[in-house]
Structure 1
Amino acid sequence: MRILLIEDDTLIGDGTKAGLTKLGFNVDWFTDGKTGYSALNTAPYDAVVLDLSLPEMDGLNILAQWRKNGADIPVLILTARNALEQRVEGLSSGADDYLCKPFALTEVSARLQALIRRRYGQFQPQLSHGEVTLDPAAHTVTVRGETLAMKPRELSLLELLMRNPGRVLTRTQLEEKLYSWDDEVSSNTVEVHIHHLRKKLGSDFIRTVHGVGYILAPTK
């Protein structure tokens, strides 16, 4: 899942990006409000981690403008402003959740997972398709109860497909979700990951829609 992080503290921002990346998220990090505000329109983000005290444009102004423009992306406010009135103001401005600094990255991850589940209308913590079960929080995939070894990109790609059952995802859509602006992506990267997933899950688990993209095969 691709996350937009807007945080001007370089120590916190660097640690948050690195930690969330290790936990399976794809993170783009911006350090000023105006750039972060505009970044929402540059990639298909699944959620935002937003600081409030930002240069150029305050976090609450960013959030209020997004909501005014109809952006429905989940937003987790992450800030040192811990007064009750400020938390209420953030939630009233359209935030979906709120964490005060200092924070644990595992809690940030868990809250983001919950926000993303709600956005996709999937309220169970695990994803299932046929005999395959994926636990995004635990980063595990099981088939008939047997755990399979998965590389991080393979697991992320599988999660994208399982969150969109019945929907064809193009290679471009998959690349935009799997990779940040800092990543270099070769022309056949997605195809390689699809090939590896088919070897592990069965050749018919993921179907190719020629000229369009990929979709999970219907369950029997």
Structure 2
Amino acid sequence: MRILILEDNIRLATGLKKRLSQEGYAIDVLHDGEEGASVLDYQEYDLLILDLGLPGMDGIDILKKMRKNNKTMPVLITSARFKLDQKILGLEAGADDYIAKPFDLKEIVARVHALLRRSQQKGQTTIQLGDLTFNVLTRMLTKGDEHIHLSNRELSVFEYLISQVNVVLSKENISNHVGNFDNTFTPHAIETYISRIRKKLGSNVQIKTFPGLGYMISTK
């Protein structure tokens, strides 16, 4: 899954990126409000972590513009504006959650997991596909009592595929959701990760190839 962090505090943004990357998410970071608003016009994300006090364009204005343009991705506000009226303003503008600075990175991770879980699976905590079970909260894949280990990149690709069961996804679509500004996934890389995942899934679930179109995960 791909997350955008809009935060002008470089040290904090770097810490957030490092911590969330360890969870297997693809992270983009921008420090300017106008630049962030421009990127949001053309790039799709699964979640936005938004500081309010940004140079160029205030976070509230970015949020209002997003919602006006029917951008429905979950938004987690992180702000030094800790007063209740500021929190209410952020939530009424369309934020899904609000956390005041300073905060613990563990809490950010927990809130990100919760927001993505609600957004992607409408409250579902597990996805059952054939004899596989994927826990959306822990991002753990099991077959019966056996844990199937996926690398972070394999997990990112698999997570996107299983969120779109029986839907054909192009290589470009997959790349846009699992890559970031610093680490784009080439079509060849997507093929490589798909091949590795196939070997780990077992016999009841398969990833089908549609030449010229992309891939689809389904049961046999």
TM over 0.5: yes
How much has 1:149 moved relative to structure 2? Answer: 1.8
Change (3 A) 1:133 1:121: closer
Structure 2 unaligned blocks of 5 or more: none
Letter in 1 for 2:206: F
Alpha-carbon distance in structure 1 between the residues aligned to 2:114 and 2:168: 24
Alpha-carbon distance in structure 1 between the residues aligned to 2:140 and 2:219: 22
Structure 1 unaligned blocks of 5 or more: none
How much has 1:184 moved relative to structure 2? Answer: 4.5
How much has 1:114 moved relative to structure 2? Answer: 2.3
Pairwise mapping of residues 1-220 of structure 1 onto structure 2 (< 5 A)?
A: 1-202=1-202, 205-218=206-219
Change (3 A) 1:42 1:182: farther
Please say which of residues 119-128 and 37-46 is displaced more in the overlay: 119-128
How much has 1:128 moved relative to structure 2? Answer: 2.3
Secondary structure of the 1:217 match is strand
How much has 1:78 moved relative to structure 2? Answer: 0.7
Q: TM-score, normalised by structure 1?
A: 0.93
Please list every run of at least 4 consecutive aligned residues from structure 1 whose deviation after the TM superposition is greater than 3 angstroms. Answer: 184-187
Question: How many residues are matched?
Answer: 219
2:175 touches 2:186 (CA, 8 Å); kept in 1?
no
The alignment yields a C-alpha RMSD, in angstroms, of: 1.6
2:154 touches 2:197 (CA, 8 Å); kept in 1?
yes
Letter in 1 for 2:37: Y
Alpha-carbon distance in structure 2 between the residues aligned to 1:78 and 1:184: 27
